[in-house]
Amino acid sequence: MAESRTPDQVVARAARATDLADLDAAVSDCFACPRLVRWREEVARTRRAAFRDQEYWGRPVPGFGPADARIAILGLAPAAHGGNRTGRIFTGDRSGDVLFAALHRAGLANQPTSVAADDGLTLRDTRIFSAVRCAPPDNKPTPDERDTCAPWLHREVTLIRPTLRVVVALGAFAWAAWWPVLRQVYGQRPPSPRPVFGHGAHWSGAAVPELLGCYHVSQQNTFTGRLTPGMLDDVFGRAKQLAEVD
């Protein structure tokens, strides 16, 4: 399989992806952002002391969840020692602990923890992916990196479009990353001015998924109590209701 090494190659390869397995494989073989490739590989080489004996994934992190998902959870980017270590989104870090515990309470995950790619976790009616597929330094991708990575997101949404009803945007970056999807996937002009992100924000358009805003499950938010388990339960309860998931 050909690697993607330029923005044009990302566009072409994403457009060719026939199903999620093909897309996931293609994403994993992407090298189009030099700064992020350097960073993900450096983190994988130097490692955190607690994980010194582990082999890091050190590659882009594909989405996770079934192809017939009715709910999508859109994050920012993988964590350096979470998804970039384990190879699965929100897996192996505190953010994932909070997110998957909430998904389990909502009946959307078969277990409350997500520690490794082979831990038996499965999702129901839900697919999780991020706007940028490589771990960025300080969790801050550049606008160019965001735009270079966008075709992967757009193709992923296209592939699950037949069933997708609700998107939960974790944080303002993900919320902003959704608007280009409306144009690229649904052929619709994004609203202007753009609706403002907030926890509990809800935007509806005609014949497109409902968009819900949720504070990101970052340690900064969950440790300080800005985002509580109850707040997550409310968001996922609302998402299930809108998506007509039992």
- By CB under 6 A, tell whether 108 contacts ligand SF4: no
Q: Least separation, in Å, of the C-beta of 203 and ligand SF4? A: 25
- By CB under 6 A, tell whether 145 contacts ligand SF4: yes
Of 160-199, binders to ligand SF4 (CB under 6 A) are none
C-beta of residue 93 within 8 angstroms of C-beta of residue 109: no
Backbone angles phi, psi at 194, to 5 degrees: -65, 135
- By CB under 6 A, tell whether 153 contacts ligand SF4: no
- By CB under 6 A, tell whether 231 contacts ligand SF4: no
Report the phi/psi class of residue 114: left, alpha or beta, with left for phi > 0 and alpha for psi in -120 to 50.
Answer: beta
Among 33-41, 63-71, 158-166, 186-194, which window interacts with ligand SF4 (CB under 6 A)? 33-41
Q: Choose, by CB under 6 A, the member of 81, 88, 133, 155 that binds ligand SF4.
A: 133
Nearer CB in complex with ligand SF4: 7/205:
7
- By CB under 6 A, tell whether 149 contacts ligand SF4: yes
- By CB under 6 A, tell whether 132 contacts ligand SF4: yes
Q: Least separation, in Å, of the C-beta of 57 and ligand SF4? A: 12
Comparing CA positions, the residue from 29, 22, 8 lying closest to residue 155 is 22
Residues 41-80: x/- map of binding to ligand SF4 (CB under 6 A)? -------------------x--------------------
How many whole angstroms separate alpha carbon 240 and alpha carbon 246? 7
Cα 147 to Cα 57, 67, 72: the distances in Å are: 23, 24, 20
- By CB under 6 A, tell whether 37 contacts ligand SF4: yes
DSSP secondary structure string, 158-227? Answer: HHHTTT--EEEEESHHHHHHHHHHHHHHH--PPPSSPPPP-TT-EE--TTS-EEEEE----HHHHHTTSS
C-beta of residue 71 within 8 angstroms of C-beta of residue 108: yes
C-beta of residue 168 within 8 angstroms of C-beta of residue 74: yes
- By CB under 6 A, tell whether 27 contacts ligand SF4: yes
Q: Which residues bind ligand SF4 (CB under 6 A)?
A: 10, 27, 30-33, 36-37, 60, 132-134, 145, 148-149, 152
